[in-house]
Protein backbone atom coordinates (compact mmCIF):
# COMPACT_ATOMS: atom_id res chain seq x y z
CA UNK A 1 0.00 0.00 0.00
CA UNK A 2 1.34 3.43 -0.95
CA UNK A 3 1.91 5.78 1.98
CA UNK A 4 3.60 9.10 2.70
CA UNK A 5 7.22 8.73 3.79
CA UNK A 6 9.49 11.41 5.24
CA UNK A 7 13.27 10.94 5.15
CA UNK A 8 15.56 13.35 7.01
CA UNK A 9 18.86 14.13 5.35
CA UNK A 10 17.24 12.58 2.32
CA UNK A 11 18.94 14.36 -0.57
CA UNK A 12 22.48 12.97 -0.23
CA UNK A 13 24.30 9.74 0.55
CA UNK A 14 22.42 7.04 2.42
CA UNK A 15 19.38 9.29 2.83
CA UNK A 16 19.06 9.84 -0.91
CA UNK A 17 19.22 6.09 -1.54
CA UNK A 18 16.54 5.54 1.10
CA UNK A 19 14.26 8.19 -0.41
CA UNK A 20 14.68 6.71 -3.89
CA UNK A 21 14.10 3.19 -2.57
CA UNK A 22 10.87 4.20 -0.85
CA UNK A 23 9.65 5.94 -3.98
CA UNK A 24 10.43 2.80 -5.98
CA UNK A 25 8.34 0.85 -3.47
CA UNK A 26 5.38 3.04 -4.43
CA UNK A 27 5.37 5.55 -1.60
CA UNK A 28 5.03 9.32 -1.83
CA UNK A 29 8.32 10.62 -0.44
CA UNK A 30 9.49 13.89 1.08
CA UNK A 31 13.18 14.46 1.79
CA UNK A 32 14.59 17.05 4.16
CA UNK A 33 17.92 18.82 3.91
CA UNK A 34 19.65 21.58 5.81
CA UNK A 35 22.75 22.88 4.07
CA UNK A 36 23.30 22.19 0.38
CA UNK A 37 20.52 23.86 -1.61
CA UNK A 38 22.17 23.17 -4.99
CA UNK A 39 22.45 19.46 -4.24
CA UNK A 40 18.84 19.31 -3.02
CA UNK A 41 17.53 21.04 -6.13
CA UNK A 42 19.47 18.67 -8.36
CA UNK A 43 18.13 15.69 -6.40
CA UNK A 44 14.54 16.91 -6.78
CA UNK A 45 14.99 17.52 -10.51
CA UNK A 46 16.50 14.07 -11.04
CA UNK A 47 14.10 12.03 -8.89
CA UNK A 48 10.87 14.01 -8.67
CA UNK A 49 11.00 13.68 -4.88
CA UNK A 50 9.78 16.75 -2.99
CA UNK A 51 12.42 18.41 -0.81
CA UNK A 52 11.98 20.55 2.28
CA UNK A 53 14.64 22.64 4.03
CA UNK A 54 14.96 22.77 7.80
CA UNK A 55 17.32 21.97 10.67
CA UNK A 56 16.32 18.74 12.43
CA UNK A 57 18.07 19.98 15.58
CA UNK A 58 15.52 22.82 15.81
CA UNK A 59 12.31 21.55 17.41
CA UNK A 60 10.11 24.40 16.23
CA UNK A 61 11.46 24.08 12.68
CA UNK A 62 10.58 20.38 12.73
CA UNK A 63 7.02 21.05 13.89
CA UNK A 64 6.55 23.68 11.19
CA UNK A 65 8.28 21.63 8.49
CA UNK A 66 6.30 18.48 9.17
CA UNK A 67 3.08 20.50 9.02
CA UNK A 68 4.15 21.75 5.58
CA UNK A 69 4.90 18.22 4.39
CA UNK A 70 1.55 16.92 5.61
CA UNK A 71 -0.32 19.85 4.06
CA UNK A 72 1.33 19.15 0.72
CA UNK A 73 1.40 15.34 0.65
CA UNK A 74 -0.81 13.98 3.44
CA UNK A 75 -0.22 12.45 6.88
CA UNK A 76 3.21 10.94 7.45
CA UNK A 77 2.97 7.18 8.01
CA UNK A 78 6.66 6.36 7.45
CA UNK A 79 9.41 8.34 9.16
CA UNK A 80 13.09 7.65 8.54
CA UNK A 81 15.34 9.55 10.96
CA UNK A 82 18.55 9.53 8.96
CA UNK A 83 20.05 13.03 9.25
CA UNK A 84 23.29 13.25 11.16
CA UNK A 85 26.56 15.15 11.48
CA UNK A 86 30.06 14.54 12.80
CA UNK A 87 32.34 16.88 14.72
CA UNK A 88 35.21 14.53 15.42
CA UNK A 89 38.04 15.06 17.89
CA UNK A 90 39.59 13.63 21.02
CA UNK A 91 37.31 14.19 24.00
CA UNK A 92 40.00 15.93 26.09
CA UNK A 93 40.25 18.53 23.31
CA UNK A 94 36.53 18.71 22.47
CA UNK A 95 34.69 21.97 23.07
CA UNK A 96 31.08 22.25 24.13
CA UNK A 97 29.89 23.30 20.67
CA UNK A 98 31.30 20.11 19.10
CA UNK A 99 29.54 18.08 21.78
CA UNK A 100 26.14 19.75 21.79
CA UNK A 101 25.79 20.17 18.02
CA UNK A 102 26.25 16.43 17.46
CA UNK A 103 23.97 15.48 20.37
CA UNK A 104 21.23 17.86 19.22
CA UNK A 105 21.35 16.86 15.55
CA UNK A 106 21.86 13.12 15.92
CA UNK A 107 19.86 12.42 19.08
CA UNK A 108 17.74 15.49 19.84
CA UNK A 109 16.25 15.21 16.37
CA UNK A 110 14.74 11.85 17.35
CA UNK A 111 12.32 13.74 19.61
CA UNK A 112 11.94 16.79 17.38
CA UNK A 113 11.01 14.74 14.30
CA UNK A 114 9.08 11.89 15.89
CA UNK A 115 6.93 13.73 18.42
CA UNK A 116 4.90 15.65 15.78
CA UNK A 117 3.96 12.48 13.87
CA UNK A 118 3.49 9.87 16.60
CA UNK A 119 -0.04 10.90 17.64
CA UNK A 120 -1.31 10.65 14.06
CA UNK A 121 0.29 7.26 13.59
CA UNK A 122 -1.30 5.96 16.78
CA UNK A 123 -4.71 7.33 15.86
CA UNK A 124 -4.60 5.78 12.38
CA UNK A 125 -3.32 2.47 13.73
CA UNK A 126 -0.30 2.38 11.44
CA UNK A 127 3.21 3.76 11.55
CA UNK A 128 6.72 2.82 10.53
CA UNK A 129 9.62 4.58 12.22
CA UNK A 130 13.14 3.65 11.13
CA UNK A 131 16.05 5.26 12.95
CA UNK A 132 19.56 5.22 11.51
CA UNK A 133 22.22 4.68 14.17
CA UNK A 134 25.77 3.49 13.43
CA UNK A 135 28.29 0.75 14.03
CA UNK A 136 30.05 3.32 16.23
CA UNK A 137 26.96 3.64 18.40
CA UNK A 138 27.36 -0.06 19.11
CA UNK A 139 31.10 -0.37 19.64
CA UNK A 140 32.38 3.17 20.14
CA UNK A 141 35.11 4.87 18.12
CA UNK A 142 38.24 6.86 18.83
CA UNK A 143 37.68 10.57 18.30
CA UNK A 144 33.91 10.17 18.25
CA UNK A 145 32.76 10.28 21.87
CA UNK A 146 30.03 12.75 20.93
CA UNK A 147 28.90 10.82 17.84
CA UNK A 148 29.08 7.41 19.54
CA UNK A 149 27.10 8.68 22.52
CA UNK A 150 24.38 10.13 20.30
CA UNK A 151 24.11 7.04 18.11
CA UNK A 152 23.99 4.76 21.17
CA UNK A 153 21.16 6.96 22.41
CA UNK A 154 19.29 6.36 19.15
CA UNK A 155 19.35 2.63 19.91
CA UNK A 156 17.82 3.13 23.37
CA UNK A 157 15.28 5.59 22.00
CA UNK A 158 14.18 3.07 19.37
CA UNK A 159 13.75 0.20 21.82
CA UNK A 160 11.71 2.20 24.32
CA UNK A 161 9.53 3.85 21.68
CA UNK A 162 8.87 0.44 20.12
CA UNK A 163 7.52 -0.86 23.43
CA UNK A 164 5.25 2.14 23.94
CA UNK A 165 3.63 1.92 20.50
CA UNK A 166 3.55 -1.78 19.64
CA UNK A 167 -0.15 -2.20 20.40
CA UNK A 168 -1.04 0.80 18.24
CA UNK A 169 0.26 -0.67 14.99
CA UNK A 170 3.36 1.51 15.06
CA UNK A 171 6.71 -0.25 14.69
CA UNK A 172 10.06 1.30 15.56
CA UNK A 173 13.30 -0.25 14.37
CA UNK A 174 16.94 0.81 14.27
CA UNK A 175 19.60 0.20 11.63
CA UNK A 176 23.31 0.39 12.43
CA UNK A 177 25.27 0.74 9.17
CA UNK A 178 28.99 0.17 8.98
CA UNK A 179 31.20 1.97 6.48
CA UNK A 180 29.16 2.80 3.37
CA UNK A 181 30.46 3.99 0.01
CA UNK A 182 29.29 7.61 0.13
CA UNK A 183 30.95 10.91 -0.79
CA UNK A 184 31.97 11.39 2.84
CA UNK A 185 33.79 8.05 3.02
CA UNK A 186 35.25 8.50 -0.46
CA UNK A 187 36.90 11.71 0.76
CA UNK A 188 38.97 9.76 3.29
CA UNK A 189 42.68 9.53 2.34
CA UNK A 190 43.43 6.43 0.26
CA UNK A 191 45.67 4.77 2.85
CA UNK A 192 43.10 5.32 5.59
CA UNK A 193 40.36 3.91 3.38
CA UNK A 194 42.47 0.84 2.66
CA UNK A 195 42.86 0.32 6.39
CA UNK A 196 39.10 0.57 6.92
CA UNK A 197 38.33 -1.95 4.19
CA UNK A 198 40.95 -4.33 5.61
CA UNK A 199 38.87 -4.50 8.81
CA UNK A 200 35.69 -5.51 6.96
CA UNK A 201 35.43 -9.31 6.54
CA UNK A 202 33.48 -9.12 3.27
CA UNK A 203 36.33 -7.04 1.86
CA UNK A 204 34.44 -3.98 0.64
CA UNK A 205 32.45 -0.94 1.66
CA UNK A 206 28.68 -1.25 1.88
CA UNK A 207 26.41 0.32 -0.71
CA UNK A 208 23.78 2.90 0.18
CA UNK A 209 21.28 0.85 -1.83
CA UNK A 210 21.79 -2.03 0.61
CA UNK A 211 20.72 0.17 3.51
CA UNK A 212 17.80 1.45 1.45
CA UNK A 213 16.58 -2.07 0.74
CA UNK A 214 16.46 -2.84 4.45
CA UNK A 215 14.58 0.41 5.16
CA UNK A 216 12.06 -0.42 2.43
CA UNK A 217 11.31 -3.73 4.13
CA UNK A 218 10.97 -2.16 7.57
CA UNK A 219 8.60 0.44 6.09
CA UNK A 220 6.38 -2.19 4.51
CA UNK A 221 3.25 -3.95 5.71
CA UNK A 222 5.26 -7.21 5.68
CA UNK A 223 7.38 -6.04 8.63
CA UNK A 224 4.46 -5.68 11.07
CA UNK A 225 5.84 -8.31 13.49
CA UNK A 226 9.29 -6.68 13.68
CA UNK A 227 9.66 -3.90 16.21
CA UNK A 228 12.36 -2.86 18.64
CA UNK A 229 14.98 -4.54 16.45
CA UNK A 230 18.55 -3.28 16.15
CA UNK A 231 19.87 -4.43 12.78
CA UNK A 232 23.57 -4.42 11.98
CA UNK A 233 24.62 -4.10 8.34
CA UNK A 234 28.38 -3.74 8.32
CA UNK A 235 29.95 -6.58 6.34
CA UNK A 236 30.80 -8.46 9.51
CA UNK A 237 33.06 -5.71 10.88
CA UNK A 238 31.25 -5.76 14.21
CA UNK A 239 29.04 -8.68 15.22
CA UNK A 240 26.66 -7.56 17.95
CA UNK A 241 25.47 -9.90 20.69
CA UNK A 242 21.97 -11.31 20.34
How far does the chain reach from its first CA to its final CA, in angstroms? Answer: 32
- Hey, CA dihedral for 28, 214, 173, 84, is it positive or negative? negative
Burial (CB < 10 A; 0-12, 13-18, 19+), residue 210, is middle
- Largest Cα–Cα distance in the chain? 52
| Distance in angstroms (rounded) separating the CA atoms of residues 232 and 241 | 10
Query: What residues act catalytically?
Result: 147
| Distance in angstroms (rounded) separating the CA atoms of residues 231 and 135 | 10
Burial (CB < 10 A; 0-12, 13-18, 19+), residue 50, is middle
In sequence order, the 6+-apart residues with CB closer than 8 A to the CB of 130 are 78, 79, 80, 81, 172, 173, 174, 175, 215, 218, 219
| Distance in angstroms (rounded) separating the CA atoms of residues 109 and 129 | 13
| Distance in angstroms (rounded) separating the CA atoms of residues 233 and 229 | 13
| Distance in angstroms (rounded) separating the CA atoms of residues 173 and 185 | 25
Amino acid sequence: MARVALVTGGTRGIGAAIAIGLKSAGHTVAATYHGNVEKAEAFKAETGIETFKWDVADHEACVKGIAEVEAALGPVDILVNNAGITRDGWFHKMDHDAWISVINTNLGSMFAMTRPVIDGMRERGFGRIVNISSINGQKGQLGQVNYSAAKAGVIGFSKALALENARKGVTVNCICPGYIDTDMVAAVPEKVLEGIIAQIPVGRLGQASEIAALVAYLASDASAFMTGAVLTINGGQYIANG
